[in-house]
Chains A and B, each alone.
Chain A
Amino acid sequence: MGFIDIFSQQLVNGIVLGSFYALVALGYTMVFGVVKLLNFAHGDLYMVGGFAGFLILSFLSPFIGPGWFGVAVSMVFAMIAVGILGVVIERVAYAPMLSAPRLSILITALAVSLVLQNGMLTITKGQYVPFGSALGFGGVNLGSLFISYNQMILVGVSIALMAGLEIFVSRTQYGRAMRAVSVDKDMSRLLGINVNRVIAGTFFLGTGLAAAAGTMAGAYYGSLWYFMGFLIGLKAFTAAVIGGIGSIPGAMLGGLILGLLESFGTQLPGVGSEWKDVFSFSVLILVLVFKPTGLLGKPEQERM
């Protein structure tokens, strides 16, 4: 394979990876924007989303088949179910803590993450679970470059979801309320916005997107694992920070950039695939240290 081929193959891989990161990063960034909370459990909700999609698909596949259509239907149900779980978590665990010291909220979020992770560990006994989807192997050859239909569908669905979110946030009244709450909670309350409802809605949407990513990842890679949310959670957070935490277009951009960085980074001399995660975490630390506001984020407000 020539240089151009490797380049374009990595470009495709990077975009696929990036759309997963972007979908999960969106939830991080939305929740952070509205409640200023770093939801450590977000990656685990992606994992739960994968398992929810798997369960739903195994019930429905006799009727709608294990192909992309079946996966898509399961994905929608998984988004709703896990979205509700996200709202419940917010109500039960986070809402009572929002006035507590920052450290307590962070530890609570970590605890929720551990409950989800270890709950799934107990259920699955730590085993990989085959997803049970049957996707085709077809694709398009562009010269020596091969793009599978699965990759195209996956990226297409991601783009559709993100576009839908962008329209929802910028065009609907609810979306405007979300933006208002993220700028100033007290002022929004004075303006008659039901802040609690907006927060619940934000958790629902953010978690739902993570669940969509989880289901698609399960279908695409073929198996699920209780710990699969840990790494992607960290990376999606990295993506959100690269783009500027709190910024929705930023999360999409950040996801894409991180996906590309990873797929090209592993091609660098000395950076084999076993160093891929070290590479991503180093990017995370460097971004946090040198540009914590990210590419599209607003500068932090002055202290005091």
Chain B
Amino acid sequence: MTLLQVQGVSLSFAGSKVLQGVNFAVAEGAIASLIGPNGAGKTSLFNCITGFYKPQAGSIRLAGTETLRMKPHQVTRSGIARTFQNVRLFREMSVTENVMSGLHCRTSAGIIESILRLPGQQREETMIRDFAEECLTFVGITEGWDRDATTLPYGWQRRVEIARALATKPKLLLLDEPAAGLTSSEKEDLIGLIGRIRDQRGISVLLIEHDTGLVMRVSERISVLDHGVMIAEGAPKEIQANPKVIEAYLGVEDGEASLGL
């Protein structure tokens, strides 16, 4: 069954076409990747899916519900979580507090409940903290929860960001270059983590990634975007053999090397 359905999405900024009629789908329970040369429009597509950009045309549906006209927070509430290309944790707040932000849209305590510390609000607070800590444990961070999140080592920050996204209880998780800046052993952990997110939590994963070796190993379906146009879609093997893909990469840089052929 299709979880995310992107149809005919076109986006332009000040006359320059960033996305041109992009069609694209992620099946429920899939691990899919979106690749393409720099400036192909991958992050722009992410921003459209998450509601940060408003495409001029097209339709984006999550499990049948149109999300195109939603604000970013509504998209998240409807079940799409994301991480950012350049990690964006909340400064001057602890690791746990960062992850607790994800629970905001799944909880409801308001001003009065918080001032009076009503039992329901207290229970909710405990639940928020517990779930945040569970998410941290899940991504493999079991210590340093009280530290200012932005003082953690870079690789840890990336994982805190994933934990924070998981805390929103999404159906679909979008990872924007999750392997950027990681060491090779951290990349191994990431591959394992992406698998566990899908297998243990039942969350579908869509990632943008430049490390094509990692992409080939982790994803079941790969879509290739070039100059705002979707040029190929298929299993890793098919993508590796697709002449259009090779050409797209060759046009920009040393295509064979970057495709890991």
A residues near B, CB below 8 A? Answer: 302-304
Contacts and interface: CB of A to CB of B under 8 A. Distances in A.
Interface string B147-159: 0000000000000
Nearest to B11: A302
B90 interface: no
Interface in B37-80: 47, 52-54
A303 B13 CA distance: 12
Contacts of A304: 47, 52-53
A78 to B, nearest CB: 41
Nearest to A298: B14
Interface residues of B, number: 5
A302 B13 CA distance: 9
Given A302-B54, A303-B52, 6 more contacts: A302-B13, A302-B52, A302-B53, A304-B47, A304-B52, A304-B53
Nearest to B91: A101
A258 to B, nearest CB: 30
Contacts of B47: 304
A302 B47 CA distance: 11
A144 B92 CA distance: 68
A303 B50 CA distance: 13
A300 to B, nearest CB: 12
8 contacts: A302-B13, A302-B52, A302-B53, A302-B54, A303-B52, A304-B47, A304-B52, A304-B53
Contacts of B13: 302
The 8 tightest CB contacts between A and B, nearest first, are A304-B52, A304-B47, A302-B53, A303-B52, A302-B13, A304-B53, A302-B52, A302-B54
Nearest to B46: A304
Contacts of B52: 302-304
B155 to A, nearest CB: 24
Nearest to A101: B91
B57 to A, nearest CB: 16
A304 B86 CA distance: 12
A17 B54 CA distance: 42
A302 B44 CA distance: 11
A173 B47 CA distance: 39
Contacts of A303: 52
Nearest to B52: A304
Interface string B196-218: 00000000000000000000000
Nearest to B13: A302
Contacts of A302: 13, 52-54
A302 B53 CA distance: 7
Nearest to A299: B14
Interface in B10-54: 13, 47, 52-54
A304 B53 CA distance: 8
Nearest to A303: B52
A304 B46 CA distance: 12
Nearest to A302: B53
B91 to A, nearest CB: 10
A158 B23 CA distance: 57
Nearest to B72: A303
A243 to B, nearest CB: 21
Contacts of B54: 302
B44 to A, nearest CB: 9
A304 B54 CA distance: 12
B49 to A, nearest CB: 13
B40 to A, nearest CB: 17
A304 B52 CA distance: 7
B233 to A, nearest CB: 26
A302 to B, nearest CB: 6
A303 B54 CA distance: 10
A304 B13 CA distance: 13
Nearest to B84: A304
A303 B47 CA distance: 10
A302 B16 CA distance: 14
B229 to A, nearest CB: 21
A299 to B, nearest CB: 9
B53 to A, nearest CB: 6
A280 to B, nearest CB: 33
